[in-house]
Structure 1
Amino acid sequence: MSADGDKTFYTVTMARVYADQGRNEEAARIYRYLLDRTPDRPDLQRALDDVLAKLPEAPGGWADIAGSVERWISLMLRYNALRKLEQTRLPSEAMDRR
């Protein structure tokens, strides 16, 4: 079942089947979908919490990598903004020198 595919089978029963089979990522995906549609269901939230508790934690290295990528993007955006600023300043400075 793809994340972008047909959600006909995104039911509580299907989520439970996946959870019982140890397919916790698929179960979590369905529970999240159901909670988005009916957020006032504490039973779904509890079921999602139970499934998420069974998922392995992501290695700490990924958090470090994500932080580095975010910082790199931020620096690239600042660098590009600085270059644009310098390009707008250069023509006026050249006129001052005349």
Structure 2
Amino acid sequence: MVIKVFLATSSGSTAIKKKQQDVLGFLEALKIDFAQLDIACNEENRMWMRENVPEEKKPENGIPLPPQIFNNESYCGDYDTFFDAKEDNDVYTFLGLPAPPGSKEEQEEDE
């Protein structure tokens, strides 16, 4: 399973840069393997991301902004849903990954 984080390395938006860093930093801290896919320099990545974000998850203008998170081909969510999962200690569930032994998420699953 590969977690794919679609991001824009040359975004002019400080808010987008902060959101991308938050996602990447959190995944690194949890030692979750992931791949960064740049949509600013790679048209294929941009088109794949836009085509695979579910219609109901796209903003009104129809163009989803980075970061967008996938588990292989399965859409996980955008920054807001990632943030909510992080706040609820549900990141592994959000990512479609098994919670590691001893984690808060695994303990909640056992209850």
By relative contact order (CA 8 Å, sep 6+), the higher-ranking structure is 2
TM > 0.5 fold call: no
Determine which structure has the larger strand proportion and give its number.
2
More helix by share: 1
TM-score (norm 2): 0.23
For normalisation by structure 1, the TM-score amounts to: 0.25
